[in-house]
Every structure is written in C-alpha cells, then in structure tokens.
Structure 1
Amino acid sequence: MRHEPAGGQRPSYFSFAQPLAYRGPGFTPTAQEPFAYRHYDKSRMVMGKTMEQQLRFAVCYWHSFGWGGTDPFGDATFQRPWHAAGDPMEQAVAKADVAFELFRTVDAPFFTFHDRDVAPEGATLAESNANLRRIGDVFAKKMQDTGIKLLWGTANLFSHRRYMAGAATNPDPAVFTYAAGQVKSVLELTHQLGGDNYVLWGGREGYETLLNTDLKRELAQLGRFLNLVVEHKHKIGFKGQILIEPKPAEPTKHQYDYDVATVFGFLREHGLEREVKVNIEQNHALLAGHTFEHEIALAHALGIFGSLDMNRGDEQLGWDTDQFPNSLPQLALALYEVLKGGGMGLGGLNFDAKLRRQSIDPDDLVWAHATAMDLCARGLLVAEQMLQDGALQRHVQARYAGWDEDGGQAILRGERSLEELASDVDARGLDPQPRSAQQERLEHLVNSYL
C-alpha cells in the first residue's frame, strides 16, 4: 500500500510516509518505522563541520529514474510509470515528482542529473534544449520548495548513435559542434540552478582500434573542447568546478581519461590543471588497477580533487556493475583520505549506483540509498577516529623523517650535485640498513578502528 496524502495530492510512490530520521545505534525497526539512521546524524559535528556538510550526499537521476533495468540479455524489469507510453514531457514531470519525493524521503541534500535522463530528446537540438529548460523550471520550483540543491549537471554525450565514435574526439567536426551546443545548454542550466559543479564523462572519448584512429588528433580535439567549456564557464560567471570523471575502458576499449594520473597529464598538456578537477568513482578506480583511496590521495596530492561517485563493483566480475557501497573498511579508508586532504569542498558523495534488476519494488530505491548513506556516515566516523588518534600519520612522518632534516631538504632544494652525494657516501661511511614498513601492523591498526 502506498501512502495516501491528504488534500487530493498525488499518492506517494513510496510506502514511507515521513522522511527518514536519525534514531541512533540502538534503533529497533518496527512495522511503523522499518528503517531509521543509526549513524547518519546530519547535525553531528565531525572535524569542524556537520556530518551533512562533510558528506554532501547526492542522489543521481540516471540510474535511479532513467534506467529501466535492462541488461545485454534482458528487457526492462522495473516498469516505472514514467517508462510507459505517454506524452514524453508529462512523463518527465511525473519522474521529477517521484525523484524529489525520494530525495526528501532519504533526506539527501543534493541531486545530480544528465540532460537526457530528465528531459526527452527532440527532433532538433533546439527542441531538446527547450525540453531541458522546461524541466529546469520544474526543478527550480521544487528546489525552492524543498531546499534540495544541485551538486552537478552533465550532458549525455554517449548514448545517441551520433556519438558512437565519440563527441569531442569524433572524426566528424559536425558531431563536435553538436556536442558543444548540447554542453552549452546544460552548463548554463547548471549555473542557473545554482549547481556547485559541472561534470564531463567521456564515455565514448576513446577508441576501439588503432587501425582507424589518429590519437594525436583526437587528444588535440578533446583539449580544445575542454578549453571551450572552461572559457564559457568564465563567460557566464559560473563559480562551480569543472570536473572530469576518469574511467579506463567501457564502453570504449580504451578511454583517454584512464585514471587520475592520466587526466592530470592531459590537463597539464592543455594548460587546464588549475581549471579542471576530477570526479572519482570507486569502481572506475578498481577497473584501472587502483584502489579508491589511491585515486583520492593522488588527486589531493596533484591538487585536482573535486568530487566522488560512491559505487562499487563486484569482485567476481570485471566490468562496471555500479552497485551501492556495502564495505565499511573500503569506505573508511576512502573517507580518511578525503578528510586528510581537507574534505569535499564543493564536491560531494554521489550515489552513481543502480539497483539490481530483481529489486523491482519502489521501496528498494529508498532502502538502497538510505543504507548506503548510513554506512558512509559510519565510515566517516571511523575516518575521524583514525585522524584524531594520529597513529597512522605518525608512522608515515617517522618513516620519512630524514627528508625533513637539513641534509634531506638540501637534496630536494637542488643544492647537492650527484658528485657531492656520491662523495658523501665515502666521507660519512654511509651504510644504510633497511627498516620495516610494518604493513601488517598497520593493517591491524586500521581494523582496530572498525
């Protein structure tokens, strides 16, 4: 049974009559309240900010409301009302109603969207952009009424067949031009809605075979496209971040935004390292052969950390399964690196995750997001404890202590030549001995916080 609101309003899509509340670790589910947050106390102070400010949760539009539950071998399983036949714009408005109901139910402060997931594509780009602006007006009213904000917007430059050979990297300049018009519209709407970021995911910016690919040409096109986006950002006065989301492969065999290090090299090559940051996804990091925390730590070290997509893969499968997080150790280590690097900033924690095809009940959307939010909150508290205790950081500082002394600093400042260093070995009778890195001891330490 769905909740029936008073006053002739639209019946609730979900069975939860009220937004989920924090009840504490001792909460016991009841028939009237089957779920409450045990750890996500959004007003609790963590490292100088509220938990809500530290985590900046966002619900994504595409997997939760756009995707129908298809896979390469099966048709849609969810059969949401807005997926049925009907007027596309009316369906888009109905989808927005349910989306904001979910945002309110799980008490998420932000949302994210692709243009093609919120508004139908028209016969021309002008018609598509007009559809998007109409839904943007719907969003603006709902955002004003609820206080929910936009974390970021993005243009879908990968689903339509025109983009089968890429958007910015397409061999046809007409496709490049069309993509530019699409991005302009979404960037401007993101700005109008007060979004904190604009994301570019180059799902088709890569290649299948070098037999028909000019790498140098395509990378130059991609650099020009990204510079155009940055130039327009400044022209319209958008104060948010421009983000690239790294991924090594899938849907293309090789994507140009392979990982954080690759993106940074690309940004340096095109003079964008101070203009563009990265939106890091856990499963994309794993597909690139890294851990989530590695990519976060590297992005902070390079000064390009922007935001996070919090979704995992399956350890038995080698593709991007986009599952909701369920591992406390993984979350704690990732959030430890976030806090150690100074926090989320304008970024946030976006659930770019989708239900399994067999999770077809509307309430499964609530359970998936709420349990993930509670687990992330628990991971944040573990990360806070790790930082406040300081044992890990003290070990790292002790391990590199020699580089903080005068001799180590002189080397780093370029004051010692190779000949001087070689002579120093004999003069000082250097015979350095290895010292244990104590990895197992530190792994035990991390587990002690959980």
Structure 2
Amino acid sequence: MAIVKGEKEYFEGIGEIRYEGKDTDNPLAFRYYDENRIVQGKTMKEYLKFACAYWHSFNGNGSDPFGEPTHIFPWDVKSDPVERAKDKMDAAFEFITKMNLPYYCFHDVDMVDYGPDVAENERRLRVLTDYALKKQEESGVKLLWGTANLFSNRRYMNGAITNPDFHVLSHGAAQVKAALDATIALGGENYVFWGGREGYMTLLNTDMKREKEHFARFLHTVRDYARKNGFKGTFFIEPKPCEPSKHQYDYDAETVIGFLRQYDLLGDFKLNLEVNHATLAGHTFQHELQVAADTGMLGSIDANRGDYQNGWDTDQFPNNINELVESMLIILEAGGFQGGGINFDAKIRRNSTDREDLFYAHIGGMDIFAKSLLVAEEILQKSDYAKLRKDRYASFDSGQGKAFEEGRLSLEDLRDYAASNGEPRLVSGRQEYLENLVNRYIF
C-alpha cells in the first residue's frame, strides 16, 4: 500500500507499520497480523478486512461531560470548514496508509462540518467525496461503509426517522441521501444504519407502533433509491439497546432480525454487531454473533469493548483474548462476514495524548484479532471442540430424535417414548474442559 500524505506530514517520524513476528520488541510493529498469511483459504487481510473509524480517530477530541478536549489536532486549525476537512482527510489517509489498513468507515458529519443549510451541506460533502476519491485512488484504500449521523444535531432529540414531526424526518432523509450518494461515489461496499435515537424516553408520549412503521417505510424507500442508483452492496443495521434513548428499536440482534422479517427487509439487510452494544443489551458478544450467524445475517462487526465498572458505551480498543477467540470460532464456522469486516469503532483514552497512541491502539487491536483468528483456526483443525458439540446432540441424529426434528412425532409419541425408556442419564456439558481447551490453544 502506498503511503499517502498531504502537504504536511502529521505523523512525522512514524513509518509504515509492518509485521515483524511475535518475538519483536518494536511497539510500532505487528506481532501476529501478517496480512499475507493464509487462514481458511484466504489471506488475513481478506478475512479480517480491518477498517479505521473516521469519527473516533480524527474527530474524537478526548472531551467528556466533566472536562474539555485533551486531543488537540494540528489538522483542526483552519477556519474554513472545507479546507479544515481536507487537512483532516490528509491526516486520516496518512495514518490509514501507514497502518496498512485496507478500509475506512465514516459518518457524513465526520468528513466535513455540517450547518443548518441542506444544500450547503450537500455541496461540502460532494467536495470532500471528490477529495476522498483521489486519496483512495492514490493509496488503494477502500470504503467499507458509509453512514449518516442522525443523532447529534438537536433537531434529532426525539429521533430522526422515528421522530413524531415529519419535518424532522425529512431532514434525516436529506442526510441519508447525501451520505448514500457519497458512499456510492466512493465505491462503498456497504451502508450502515444505527438508530442512535430511534426509540423512546417514555411511552407516555410515544406511538411505538407508528414509529416502527415509519422506520420500516423509510428503509424500504432508501433501499429502492440506492438500487435505482447502482448501489449493489449490503445494508447493515447496528443493534443497540439504549443510550442515548431509554429504549431503542434496534435493541439487539434478535429484535432487529424480527423487525426485518416483519417488514419484508431480510433480503437486503444484515447486521453490523458491536461488542459494547452486546454487553449493554445484557448479552455476550458471542451470543449476538451466534444469533446473526444462525440466521445468515452476520454482515460485519464494530470492534471495541466496554468497561465492567461502567454501564455505558466506553468504546475502548479490544484486548480480551478469550472473548475474541470464542468470537472468531463463531465467525470461522459461519464462513466469515457477509459483505463487511472489522471496523475499530473505538477511541484512545482521554489521557492518551501522544501521536503514537493512535498507532499503539490500532496495532494492539489488529494483533489481538489476528492472534484470535490463528487460535480459533487451530482449535477447529486440531482439537475435539467441534466433535464434542456435535456428539452432544447425537440423540437427534437417528431414531426417534431424528423423527422429532423432521416433524414426524406427535405429542403422544413423545409421551410414550418417555414412559418406555425411563429416566434419562445425566450427560455432562463439559464446560470446564472446553474453557481449558480454549486456554490451552491460547497459551
């Protein structure tokens, strides 16, 4: 990949991040992510499809509800919004290409600041889209997915597409159209919907049925526009249970799949699952992955983690090897992602203020996924992991168990089998053995 810089080098002194092997002491090198290594018949680069989240990496400034920004960007100084956005994109592509990241993802307002004028916002985004296209052509970096931010502006305080005011909905539609046009122009492989405020704070003032119908109608409208204009990619919905809304209509994977099925949208939509959103919903990330994989809906993931002491979306970079090995087992058995990849929807901490910190964070995230992929592949190929799980359901592979699965037994038949065969024997689930098995291959 060619390193692409603007007129100014923002990460001076940091070169291309390369694979040096697990014994390297270089903190600015990969220990496990060897992009050309073959796993399950594909290179790591093809299998993992890593992407940089434009918003956290180049817009997040380290501020929180109790303190001012701590990340002061040298690309964020010009007064003109378009010129300032170009500087930011110069920095972004310099970083992305030095990191050897094959993809990036963006919200519309990440690319360039928006104001209250729809036409002016569209003009600004078109300018930055043209600028991004040149960067992509120079570097070979691709757009994994685009999306529109329909949650930050105060007009969306009661939602965007599910807002009770049609005027607000129309502004959301204008943003989605422009973001989708940009995604198509940039060859984006997918488009994401995250309903940050598509939900309610109280049912006392909410017609939930009508709001969900509006949401479905809008998704059909966007799908039809995109297909008419040549978009051949997949649409993703990203589940999240709450925060900022008390209850969001895209609560978790099961909820979204049920919604898509109810409103006849399964053919065009899949899921973009986020680790921290899964835990906020009271699930493990593995659970959400398995739900999606079992229904053929595993489209893409947002990689991060939460904090066990905080009940909110902290978006930290991933570092839990056990969680990710178990997750990669599911992803490998599902045959990989359907259209998407691994987007680092994660941000460096407020007190991580050195320019190297953004590199350390992504290097660590890419390495732990690469290591997890290798461990998962080894478990599937060398251990009895898959056999143990298959054997646990062996009673359904023949005889009356198989007849039940095929729908050939009545309730009376089931009763008679129980009466004739006495008390079942206890069969161990061997949980501790399997947990030790995973650790054995990790270590």
Please classify the TM superposition score into its range, dividing by the shorter chain length: over 0.9
TM-score normalised to structure 2 length: 0.96
Alignment match, 1:74: 67
Shift, 1:420, TM fit: 2.2
Aligned partner of 2:22: which letter?
P
Aligned partner of 1:277: which letter?
K
8 Å Cα contact 1:15/1:363 also seen in 2: no
Alignment match, 1:142: 135
Cα gap change, 1:237/1:117 in structure 2, threshold over 3 Å: closer, same or farther? same
Which deviates more, 413-422 or 41-50? 413-422
Alignment match, 2:435: 443
Alignment partner of 1:27 is 2:20: no
Which deviates more, 138-147 or 410-419? 410-419
Shift, 1:431, TM fit: 2.7
Alignment match, 2:193: 200
The CA distance in 2 between the partners of 1:420 and 1:167, in whole Å, is: 53
Shift, 1:421, TM fit: 2.0
TM-score normalised to structure 1 length: 0.95
Alignment match, 2:117: 124
Aligned partner of 2:79: which letter?
G
| Deviations 1:212-232 (CA, angstroms, capped at 9, x unpaired) | 111111111111111112222
Matches within 5 A, 1:16-415: 16-29=13-26, 34-84=27-77, 86-415=79-408
Shift, 1:146, TM fit: 0.2
Alignment partner of 1:13 is 2:10: yes
Cα gap change, 1:9/1:405 in structure 2, threshold over 3 Å: closer, same or farther? closer
Please list every run of 5 or more consecutive structure 2 residues that lacks an aligned counterpart in the other structure.
none
Q: Secondary structure at 2:270's aligned position in 1?
A: strand
Identity across matched positions, percent: 49
Q: Secondary structure at 1:190's aligned position in 2?
A: helix
State the aligned residue count: 439
Q: Secondary structure at 1:203's aligned position in 2?
A: coil
Shift, 1:352, TM fit: 0.4
Aligned partner of 1:120: which letter?
D
Shift, 1:209, TM fit: 1.0
| Deviations 1:165-195 (CA, angstroms, capped at 9, x unpaired) | 0011000011112211211121121112111
Shift, 1:85, TM fit: 5.3
8 Å Cα contact 2:75/2:91 also seen in 1: no
8 Å Cα contact 1:105/1:366 also seen in 2: no
Cα gap change, 1:168/1:395 in structure 2, threshold over 3 Å: closer, same or farther? same
Q: Secondary structure at 1:83's aligned position in 2?
A: coil
| Deviations 1:96-124 (CA, angstroms, capped at 9, x unpaired) | 00000110111100000000011121341
- CA RMSD, aligned part only? 1.5
Q: Secondary structure at 1:313's aligned position in 2?
A: coil
Which deviates more, 337-346 or 158-167? 337-346
Q: Which runs of at least 4 in structure 1 moved beyond 6 Å after TM superposition?
A: none
The CA distance in 2 between the partners of 1:165 and 1:350, in whole Å, is: 28
The CA distance in 1 between the partners of 2:266 and 2:425, in whole Å, is: 39
The CA distance in 1 between the partners of 2:13 and 2:239, in whole Å, is: 36
Shift, 1:237, TM fit: 2.2
8 Å Cα contact 2:10/2:74 also seen in 1: no
The CA distance in 2 between the partners of 1:431 and 1:368, in whole Å, is: 55
